[in-house]
Amino acid sequence: MRDEQAMARAIELASSARSHAPPNPWVGCVVVGAAGGVFEGATSAPGGPHAEVVALSAAGEMAQGATLYSTLEPCAHTGRTPPCVSAIICAGVSRVVIGTEDPDELVAGRGIAALREAGLEVMVGMCHTEVEEQLAAYLKHRRTHRPWVVLKLAASLDGRLAAPDGTSKWITGPEARKDAAMIRSVSDAILVGAGTVRADDPALTVRLADGCRQPLRVVLGHVPENAKVKPAVEMTGELDTVLDQLGSMGVVQLMVEGGSHVAHSFHSAGLVDRYVLYLAPAFFGGDDGVPMFAGKGADSISELWRARVVSMVRLGDDLRIELSPGPRQDACTVARGAPEPVQEDVSCCAADIRGAILTDHAARWSCQPPTAKAVGLWEGLSSPG
């Protein structure tokens, strides 16, 4: 198995851990034995074994002299589980290929250094772009201590979230609504404004299947006494402070669901990392409906905000468009730290993983049994491990 193929498989495995791994990173691992045997693992729920340990346990004695592929740098500290680097070294692995370094302050290159000090060959950066895209929420949280912000909007083709009388159920069809619920299921918190709570009285729960973990519910402003969203965290103040507070609570991904004033506030402040638009083939046919963004926009075409299209998917009669701020990047980067130059191209990661954070439906949207993270209001969830 070529390095590129093994890392592509590790990325696929990591997708299966997306819904239950946070606040830990969702990691995939492949161990290729000297005799050609292939053994796989993905991150367990918090407190369970990490991807590397799962794969090494499957390999057993076949790990001796093997190459281990991990999407993220193995940890070198003791959290809720022992350090993965110790398991790798003790298993007799001779070579480790890593997708990207872990910016967590408890790791941050220490895992790579420990492996090299033990005499293992280490290559860093295989399919780096795809791995960073897949782990974008985790990486941002560890680098900035703020959550990855996903803004979800469901609108008509003329850009209206609701009719002039405030009614909006339902602009989009059941397929689009189910997809949005799937994004909820992998988000650690959902945020709406108090105006949305008063107007729609949403529960903001995940209703895909029994056992889905429920995200923390956050309301900007005061929650009415009998609102369905309770229990919820009420927050006020500057959005920067809100994000700092949520990040300190262990919220890795925050889904912002509205309304239009809240959407404008996050967008105009440049705080959105990923936009997910559900567009219905329908028109309100006027300018008096509720717009996507309620507030001041660009004064001229030169100030028009432009994005990179990550994906476009048809869902029933509707269209989902996923957007990312910033310029387009190459599909795959050249590995760093290899003893010899590695020739990579767009096919280096055979599966198309660029949109893995929100588009790998088959693996990512499966509900997992609730973990300690779904209990209470996240007590102790910011600790790594």
**What is the three-class DSSP state of 125?**
coil
**What is the three-class DSSP state of 58?**
helix
Residue with tokens 């498989």: 9
Could you please report the per-residue DSSP string of 186-198?
T-SEEEEEHHHHH
* Full strand arrangement of the beta sheet holding 189-193: 233-235, 216-220, 189-193, 253-258, 148-156, 274-280, 318-325, 307-315
Contact of 356 with 186, CB cutoff 8 Å: no
Which of 40, 45, 46 shows the shortest CA–CA distance to 69? 40
CA–CA gap between residue 91 and residue 355 (Å, rounded):
34
Exposed, middle or buried, 16 (CB in 10 Å: 0-12/13-18/19+)?
buried
Among the listed residues 4, 12, 40, 52, the single catalytic one is: 52
303 is catalytic: no
Contact of 184 with 213, CB cutoff 8 Å: no
**What is the three-class DSSP state of 181?**
helix
Contact of 1 with 33, CB cutoff 8 Å: no
Q: Taking each helix axis as running N to C, give the angle between helix 51-59 and helix 3-15, from 0 to 180 degrees, rounded to the nearest 10.
A: 120
Residue with tokens 């795959």: 332
Name, in order, each residue with C-beta under 8 angstroms of 219's C-beta and a sequence gap of 6 or more.
191, 192, 193, 194, 197, 229, 232, 233, 234, 235
Would you please indicate which residues are annotated as catalytic (active-site) residues? 52
